[in-house]
């Protein structure tokens, strides 16, 4: 039976057209793009073309505002550390409680080592940022605001351009982790107040190990990696040419398929979501139903373990992921769902289904046929399930 892949927020299949574009740069066109001879010059021209393809997807004013990185994590780290170094008279950072660990872990480290004071802004039960708390945290002490464009677990979209405008009123730099948003929602940076934006290639059908950081022309910037003149001296190290070419092609394809993400992919997601809610009692959607990524569906199935659901789905040839960050043997739900105050018995049974343009109706049909039986089997074993659709026993754990 053909496997069903619904974990595209974790990573995507590399598009065959991307692979074809990359292949010559492993062998025939192997020159260093920084070299002035013919071997390097042709590769340098291809890198410039790829930069232009990414520029078109992001809607930037200049192609040199794009700095290639090894991925989203490097881009996030570069943006945050650059801001603190560029604005030495300011030592505060504003972020949210639901950011990706690539941002949260660094902020916590900076706080622990005394290099920055960090304001962690909360969200409501739909994952929407607390605007008033955000306004209150802004001051002339803030060097950087770093907020994700769309949440990787729930797909909830922050009003990122308005949040950037508010940050600029206080002279702070504004960075957004847009790893999940790029390629799924239209973006136009040239007319925005966003100073920096991170993206990762493997989230949009490019290979792993390549990403980019957008830095608006004129924004203060300090490099993370030194030791070479690549990327105009802003990111040292010989360019990963095949991956850069692949990212450029993937950006071109993402732009071409943008309307499909908003229509066909969204319709598949909605049919999957509606079908599960109709067929299975005691479940609900995590996140903002009105403002979220078109490909993401996070459903909390009450009174069961998410890991148990995933195990049964895997046996059925279906790949999804837990809505929680549970690891084997852990009872800790994800920091995102905790921030949203999702009840423990629901957060622990949350599953994220994330689609892409590769998915078809038959994939949705398989999940709709498979999931009710899994939930019935697991709930029969659950000590919290009362055996009807009126809910289970109340359970209120104390989080560490």
**pTM for the full predicted model:** 0.94
The C-alpha atoms of residue 149 and residue 366 are separated, in whole angstroms, by 31
**Domain 4-9+258-381 in CATH 3.90.700.10:** no
Q: What is the pLDDT of residue 400?
A: 37
Could you give the 3-state DSSP secondary structure of residue 371?
Answer: helix
Using alpha carbons, select from 195, 215, 294, 291 the residue that is nearest to residue 254: 294
Q: What pLDDT shows up at residue 382?
A: 84
For 67, the enclosing helix (H) or strand (E) is strand 66-69
Structure tokens at 323: 């809505």
Nearest-10 crossing angle of helices 266-279, 361-381: 30
The distance of Cα 208 from the centroid of its chain, to the nearest Å, equals: 14
Beta-sheet pairing, 321-322 with 350-354: antiparallel
CA dist., res. 283 & res. 111, Å (int): 38
Catalytic residue among 107, 283, 297, 326: 326
Q: What is the pLDDT of residue 345?
A: 85
Residue 331 pLDDT: 57
Contact yes or no for 333/347 (Cβ under 8 A): yes
326 is catalytic: yes
Residue 60's alpha-carbon distances to 41, 69, 197, 213, in angstroms, are 25, 17, 11, 12
In 3D space, the residue among 338, 335, 333 whose CA is nearest the CA of residue 348 turns out to be: 333
Pairing of strands 296-301, 283-285: antiparallel
Nearest CA to 123 among 392, 372, 291, 336? 336
Question: For the chain, which residues score pLDDT lower than 70?
Answer: 323-331, 388-400
Query: What is the reported pLDDT for 392?
Result: 57
76-94 confidence digits (pLDDT tens): 999 999 999 999 999 999 9
**CATH code of the region 16-254:** 3.40.640.10
Which residues belong to CATH 3.40.640.10 in the chain? 16-254
To which H or E segment does residue 97 belong?
Answer: none
Joined together, the tokens standing for residue 74 give 């490097």
With H, G, I as helix, E, B as strand and everything else as coil, classify residue 136.
Answer: helix
314 conformational bin, left if phi > 0, alpha if psi -120 to 50, beta if neither = alpha
How far apart (Å, rounded) are the C-alpha atoms in residues 170 and 265? 39
SS3 5: strand
Portions of the chain given CATH number 3.90.1150.10: 4-9+258-381
């Amino acid at each position: 039976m053909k496997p069903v892949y619904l974990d595209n927020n974790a990573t995507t299949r590399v598009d065959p057209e991307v692979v074809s574009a990359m292949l010559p740069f492993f062998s025939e066109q192997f020159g260093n793009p920084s070299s002035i001879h013919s071997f390097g010059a042709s590769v340098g021209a291809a890198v410039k073309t790829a930069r232009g393809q990414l520029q078109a997807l992001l809607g930037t004013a200049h192609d040199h505002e794009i700095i290639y990185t090894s991925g989203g994590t490097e881009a996030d780290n570069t943006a945050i550390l650059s801001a603190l170094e560029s604005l030495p008279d300011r030592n505060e950072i504003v972020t949210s409680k639901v950011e990706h660990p690539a941002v949260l872990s660094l902020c916590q480290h900076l706080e622990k080592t005394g290099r920055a004071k960090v304001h962690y802004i909360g969200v409501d039960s739909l994952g929407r940022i607390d605007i008033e708390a955000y306004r209150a945290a802004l001051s002339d002490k803030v060097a950087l605001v770093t907020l994700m464009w769309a949440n990787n677990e729930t797909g909830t979209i922050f009003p990122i351009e308005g949040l950037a405008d508010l940050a600029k009123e206080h002279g702070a730099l504004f960075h957004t982790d847009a790893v999940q948003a790029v390629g799924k929602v239209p973006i136009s940076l040239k007319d925005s107040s966003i100073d920096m934006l991170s993206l990762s290639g493997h989230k949009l059908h490019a290979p792993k190990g390549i990403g980019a950081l957008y830095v608006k022309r004129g924004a203060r910037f300090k490099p993370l990696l030194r030791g070479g003149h690549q990327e105009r001296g802003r990111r040292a190290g010989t360019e990963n040419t095949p991956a850069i070419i692949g990212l450029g092609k993937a950006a071109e394809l993402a732009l071409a398929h943008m309307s499909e993400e908003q229509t066909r992919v969204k319709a598949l997601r909605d049919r999957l979501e509606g079908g599960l809610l109709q067929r299975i009692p005691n479940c609900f959607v995590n996140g903002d139903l009105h403002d979220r990524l078109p490909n993401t569906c996070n459903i909390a199935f009450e009174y069961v373990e998410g890991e148990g659901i995933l195990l049964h789905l895997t046996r059925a040839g279906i790949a999804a992921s837990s809505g929680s960050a549970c690891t084997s043997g852990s009872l800790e739900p994800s920091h995102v769902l905790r921030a949203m105050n999702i009840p423990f018995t629901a957060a622990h049974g949350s599953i994220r289904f994330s689609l892409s343009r590769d998915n078809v109706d038959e994939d949705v049909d398989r999940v709709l046929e498979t999931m009710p039986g899994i939930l019935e089997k697991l709930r029969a074993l659950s000590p919290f399930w009362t055996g009807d659709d009126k809910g289970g026993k109340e359970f209120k754990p104390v989080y560490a």
